[in-house]
Structure 1
Amino acid sequence: MSVKLLDRSLVLDAVRVTENAAVAAWKLAGRGDEMAADQAAVDAVRQTLNELDIDGQIVIGEGERDEASMLYIGEKVGRGGAKLDIAVDPLEGATLTAKAMGNALAVMALAPRGTLLTAPDTYMDKIACGPGFPPGAIDLDRTPAENVAALARAKGVAASEITVCILDRPRHGDIIGAVRDAGARIALIADGDIAGVINTADPDTGVDLYLGQGGAPEGVLACAALKCVGGQFQGRLVFRNADERARARRAGIEDFDKKYDLHELVRGDAIFAATGVTSGALLKGVSRRNGFVSTHSLVMNSATHTVREVRTRRAV
């Protein structure tokens, strides 16, 4: 089944899921308890999904089957209907939320059954850029300097006009040094690499390229968004121990060195929704005023290449 054939109400259903998760997490913003904020978002996602007329299966969630309080991989949700893969990060940026810092999101993608990669909970080396560049403009196997130079040539600008988004982590020290040596700007982010990847597709952010290592599940979610708006992405799974390799095998992955592109991670059409928990470059956070809670969301549909900005007010 193609997303084109799905009921159009599913687009707004997706937003309802992320809105409810964002509001639930926001109620715990600044409280210093990452786990509580994350669990509140998980509970809101599960409850809302189970109210929808879908036959959904979690392919990317918060844990595995033995972690039943989380949205585990393989969990069935919904009251019956269209058979869907569901990738969800109920709270991307639990630390950000606990500290009331910006850029926390509730994120979800929906796609026909069997079209989203069931990415194990491991790291992934990633590179991404937005639309408008020729195919092959970026390559995970090139050096950071080579990728910066390639994008600069494609844009017709100097390398100094390229901005690269990178997670601010010690493991990225070599990448950060190489990008600066290449003459490019760096936009460091404290957390939230889904938003970091999506920012490459939004001209208002000024970000041209995303580089670095982050969660593999977040890579699939980011690809669902890029599928809707255009762009390029490559990723390769990173395994730190035998347990992570075993986790990958349970997800059906055998080639541990494979370099995935966007269309291998998301093999068909997809719907992507995100709601801001705390305000950031992509979305405004939840706010409360005069008895109403307001949310700011994006919902994208790759079948129609549409991006809708949704602002909702609800009484509290």
Structure 2
Amino acid sequence: RPVVRRASHGLCCDARFAFFRRSDFFLHGNSLGFCFFNNVAIAAKYALHTKRAQRVFVLDWDIHHGNGIQNLTYNDPNVFYFSIHRGHGKTEDEWFYPGTGFIGEVGEGDGTGTNTNVVWKRGGMSNTEYAAAFTEMVLPLVRSYKPDLIIVACGLDAAKGDLLGDCGLSPDMYYTMTESLLQVAGASIPIVVALEGGYNLNVSAQCIEQVALALLDEPFDDRAQKDDHEVPSDTMVWTNRSILPQRISPKWAAKHNEGEGLAQYWNHQSLWAELSRRTKKTTRAAVVSMRKAIRALEKVGINIHDLHT
């Protein structure tokens, strides 16, 4: 495809897409889950070791929890790991591989408050739930943490049509998530996107193309939307508005004199409009999961307050 040819000549922004197989975010000791080397964790540690970055934010949107990344960064205050994944339901049939990544796991020791898991208790999550997770948690946390490098563990198995994920992200949502990170990062924070899981080649190809288009600052290609199941709407209808973030005052922010409210330096309006333009009512299960993740952070001093738009 043309986008691949353009990417092969170098991206026009301070971002890179690492096309490699196998995906490796499960690995933390022995091989596991098709993984042999944990590329994302190694990249984060290498950036810190070589002084190329003082803080790294790792965003993992693969539908499986990246237990290897979490284990390797769990006590490191200089790596913030944020994972959105499927977890456990109430029955044995609702168990989801690898069976890790619980909401209460927020880091330990010096790394307390730098690990967050948003856990979907079932399949079926779509653009709506991911838009909520981004606007309520991901984007304000990135902005407040102020990393020198953002690494995305770019799993594509939450996409509609994937053989394992059983969720419903459309290709353009991958474009929007990538674009929103680029907007928050601005010109000063480089972004590396590392390919992870995805078990339907046609679906993965569409989603990869949209991520690459966003990195190239190219317009969204709506040809990939022929089968989009979402009904466009002008506004996001929230099940519970009380969990939206206004400011974050975590230990790691106060330590660096950065504990001021997000409202002072985060212009959320444009991102909110973009992320919510085609979404429906957020499911109760997703709201409960995000509320629990927010409360887990609050217990270790990261307070996310209401935002009234």
Q: Tell me the TM-score normalised to structure 2 length.
A: 0.32
Larger Rg: 1
The structure richer in strand per residue is: 1
Q: Tell me the TM-score normalised to structure 1 length.
A: 0.32
